[in-house]
C-alpha cells in the first residue's frame, strides 16, 4: 500500500513537471533547419559567404558567448526548448529553381526539417517558398530581394532583408542628393549632367524586377531612360551589350548582375572604354570579395547598394565583434550576403525561442509577433518586425539599405566607403567616375 502511494506521488510529480515544460520542448534535442544556397555555379562565391554567415550565427546560438551583447549569445541553445541546438542541413541549388524546389521537398519529407532558410536567388526562393507553403513549413528568407516575393499572400514565408524597391529608391535619392549638394565632398551637380540613364540586368526573377524598378523610378524622379536591356545570366561574352549601352551615351549606368557576370561586365566596360559619370551595381556580384580581388583598382569609383559594409563596425560595436569572428573564420570582412545570412538565422533563433515549440503553427504565431530591436543586429537596421497586413505579408518593415563606393584605402587596398545615407557617410564621394 505504501509503495502504491509513493508511486502515485511520483506520477503526480511527473505530471506537474510535464505541465511546466513548454509544448514541444520535452522531445526536442536539436532543431533542424534546411539551408538552400548556391554553393556551386556562377554564384558560388556568394554561396560561400552565405553559408559562413549562417554557420557563425548557429555557432553563437549553440554556445554561450556572453561577451556579445545579443540575446542569442547568452543561452547556449534554445532556452525555451530545453537548450536544444540548431542543426543546419545545407543543400546546393546551383541557381536552378526546379532543383531548389526538389531539394526543399527532400528536406521536408526525408530530413524532417523544422524550417527552411534561403535561397539568395529570388527565382529559387520563389519555387522553394511555394513548396513550403504547400506543406505548411515555415521559411525565413534573409537575402532575396525581388519585391514580388512578399506580395503573394503566403502564410509560411517571412523576409528579413529590405527588397529592391527600397534599394533602388535609395539610388535615386543619391542622384537627387547630388543635384542638391547633399553628397559629402561633391558640390551640387546640375541635373542635366545626370539626366541620361542606361541599365543592363540579368534576365532572372531578380534582374527583371530590378530593371522594371529602374524604369519606374527614373520616371518618378524625372530622369531620362535611354537604354534598358536584359541579358542572359552567366554570359560568356557581353561585348554587344556594352556596345549598346555606350551607344545610348548615358550619364549613369546601372546593373543587376551576379558575381561572374559583374566581373565580366566591368572588364568589358573597361575594354571598350565606356565612360559614364556613375556606375552602380545592385549588390549581388558587385559586392563579393571575388569582384574586388579579380578587378583590383579597376573598380575604384564604382557604387554598390548593400545592407552592410565594414565601415558599419565604426558605428555599431556589436557589428565589430561579430565581424572579427567572421574574419577569423573566413579571412574576409562581413558583406551584404553574409551579414544578411547571419541575420536570417538569428531571426530563426528568436522565433524558436518565442515559440517554445517546433510545431509549425506555434512557429507561425511567433514569427508574426516577433520584434527584434536594432541593437541586437549586426546590420544597421531599426530592427525586425514582420508585416501581418496589407500587400506585403511577411516583409520586415524595419530594414534599410546603404550605398557604398569602392575607394583606395590608406593601406593601399581597395574597400567600400559609405556614401549614402548622407548622415552616415564615411568618406567624400568620388565623382565623376575616374577614367579607366
Tell me if 283 sits within 8 A of 164, measured CB to CB: no
Among candidates 423, 422, 378, which has minimal Cα distance to 161?
378
Give me the phi and psi of 227, to 5 degrees please: -155, 135
Domain ranges of the chain: 30-162+314-384, 165-306+401-424
Tell me if 251 sits within 8 A of 276, measured CB to CB: yes
Tell me if 62 sits within 8 A of 33, measured CB to CB: no
Q: Where is pLDDT greater, at 148 or 284?
A: 148
Q: Does CATH place domain 165-306+401-424 in 3.40.50.2300? A: yes
| Torsion 183-185-189-195 (CA) sign | negative
Kindly indicate the confidence band of residue 8, based on its pLDDT and cuts at 50, 70 and 90.
very low
pLDDT exceeds 60 at position 276:
yes
List, for residues 293-306, the tens digit of each pLDDT value: 999 999 999 999 88
What is the predicted pLDDT for the residue at 304? 94
What is the predicted pLDDT for the residue at 22? 43
What is the predicted pLDDT for the residue at 247? 97
What is the predicted pLDDT for the residue at 11? 42
List, for residues 56-100, the tens digit of each pLDDT value: 999 999 999 999 999 999 999 999 999 999 999 999 999 999 999
Cα angle: 392, vertex 380, 323; to 5 degrees? 125
Chain centroid to CA 410: how far? Answer: 29
Whether the bond into 432 is cis, omega within 30 of 0: yes
Tell me if 60 sits within 8 A of 44, measured CB to CB: no
Kindly indicate the confidence band of residue 28, based on its pLDDT and cuts at 50, 70 and 90.
low
* Cα 142 to Cα 6, 23, 120, 401, distances in angstroms: 53, 28, 8, 14
- Point out which residues pair with 84 in neighbouring strands: 78
Instruction: Kindly state the average pLDDT of the residues 200-218.
Output: 93
Q: How far apart are CA 120 and CA 38, in angstroms?
A: 8
Q: What is the number of alpha carbons within 13 Å of residue 69 lying toward its C-beta?
A: 12
Among candidates 295, 203, 210, 287, which has minimal Cα distance to 254?
210
Tell me if 284 sits within 8 A of 260, measured CB to CB: no
Q: How many CB atoms within 10 Å of residue 40?
A: 11
Q: Does CATH place domain 30-162+314-384 in 3.40.50.2300? A: yes
What is the predicted pLDDT for the residue at 288? 84
pLDDT exceeds 70 at position 145:
yes
What is the predicted pLDDT for the residue at 50? 97
Instruction: Kindly state the average pLDDT of the residues 351-361.
Output: 98
List, for residues 161-177, the tens digit of each pLDDT value: 999 898 899 999 999 99
Tell me if 182 sits within 8 A of 422, measured CB to CB: yes
Equal CATH topology for 30-162+314-384 and 165-306+401-424: yes
pLDDT exceeds 70 at position 18:
no
List, for residues 315-333, the tens digit of each pLDDT value: 889 999 999 999 999 999 9
Cell of 313: 563596425
Amino acid at each position: 500500500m505504501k509503495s502504491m502511494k509513493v508511486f502515485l506521488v511520483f506520477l503526480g510529480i511527473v505530471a506537474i513537471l510535464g505541465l511546466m515544460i513548454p509544448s514541444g520542448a520535452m522531445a526536442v534535442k536539436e532543431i533542424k533547419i534546411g539551408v538552400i544556397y548556391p554553393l556551386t555555379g556562377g554564384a558560388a562565391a556568394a554561396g560561400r559567404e552565405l553559408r559562413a554567415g549562417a554557420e557563425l550565427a548557429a555557432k553563437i546560438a549553440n554556445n554561450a558567448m556572453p561577451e556579445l551583447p545579443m540575446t542569442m549569445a547568452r543561452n547556449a541553445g534554445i532556452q525555451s526548448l530545453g537548450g536544444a541546438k540548431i542543426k543546419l542541413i545545407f543543400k546546393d541549388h546551383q541557381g536552378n529553381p526546379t532543383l531548389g524546389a526538389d531539394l526543399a521537398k527532400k528536406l521536408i519529407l526525408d530530413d524532417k526539417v523544422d524550417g527552411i532558410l534561403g535561397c539568395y536567388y529570388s527565382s529559387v526562393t520563389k519555387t522553394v517558398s511555394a513548396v513550403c507553403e504547400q506543406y505548411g513549413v515555415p521559411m525565413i528568407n534573409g537575402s532575396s530581394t525581388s519585391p514580388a516575393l512578399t506580395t503573394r499572400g503566403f502564410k509560411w514565408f517571412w523576409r528579413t532583408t529590405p527588397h529592391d524597391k527600397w534599394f533602388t529608391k535609395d539610388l535615386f535619392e543619391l542622384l537627387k542628393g547630388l543635384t542638391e549638394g547633399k553628397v559629402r565632398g561633391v558640390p551640387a551637380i546640375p541635373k542635366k549632367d545626370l539626366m541620361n540613364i542606361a541599365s543592363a540586368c540579368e534576365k532572372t526573377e531578380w534582374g527583371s524586377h530590378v530593371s522594371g524598378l529602374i524604369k519606374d523610378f527614373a520616371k518618378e524622379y524625372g530622369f531620362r531612360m535611354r537604354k534598358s536591356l536584359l541579358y542572359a545570366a552567366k554570359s560568356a561574352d557581353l561585348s554587344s551589350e556594352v556596345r549598346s549601352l555606350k551607344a545610348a551615351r548615358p550619364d549613369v549606368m546601372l546593373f543587376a548582375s551576379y558575381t561572374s557576370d559583374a566581373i565580366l561586365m566591368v572588364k568589358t566596360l573597361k575594354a571598350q572604354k565606356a565612360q559614364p559619370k556613375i556606375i552602380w551595381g545592385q549588390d549581388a556580384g558587385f559586392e563579393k570579395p571575388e569582384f574586388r580581388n579579380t578587378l583590383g583598382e579597376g573598380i575604384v569609383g564604382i557604387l554598390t547598394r548593400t545592407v552592410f559594409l565594414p565601415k558599419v563596425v565604426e558605428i555599431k560595436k556589436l557589428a565589430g565583434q561579430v565581424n572579427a569572428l567572421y574574419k577569423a573564420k573566413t579571412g574576409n570582412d562581413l558583406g551584404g550576403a553574409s551579414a544578411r545570412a547571419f541575420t536570417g538565422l538569428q531571426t530563426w533563433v528568436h522565433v524558436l525561442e518565442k515559440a517554445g515549440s517546433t510545431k509549425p503553427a506555434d512557429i507561425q504565431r511567433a514569427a508574426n509577433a516577433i520584434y527584434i530591436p536594432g541593437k541586437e543586429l549586426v546590420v544597421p537596421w531599426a530592427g525586425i518586425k514582420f508585416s501581418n497586413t496589407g500587400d506585403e505579408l511577411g516583409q520586415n518593415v524595419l530594414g534599410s539599405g546603404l550605398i557604398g563606393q569602392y575607394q583606395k584605402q590608406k593601406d593601399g587596398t581597395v574597400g567600400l566607403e559609405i556614401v549614402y545615407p548622407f548622415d552616415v557617410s564615411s568618406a567624400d564621394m568620388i565623382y565623376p567616375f575616374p577614367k579607366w
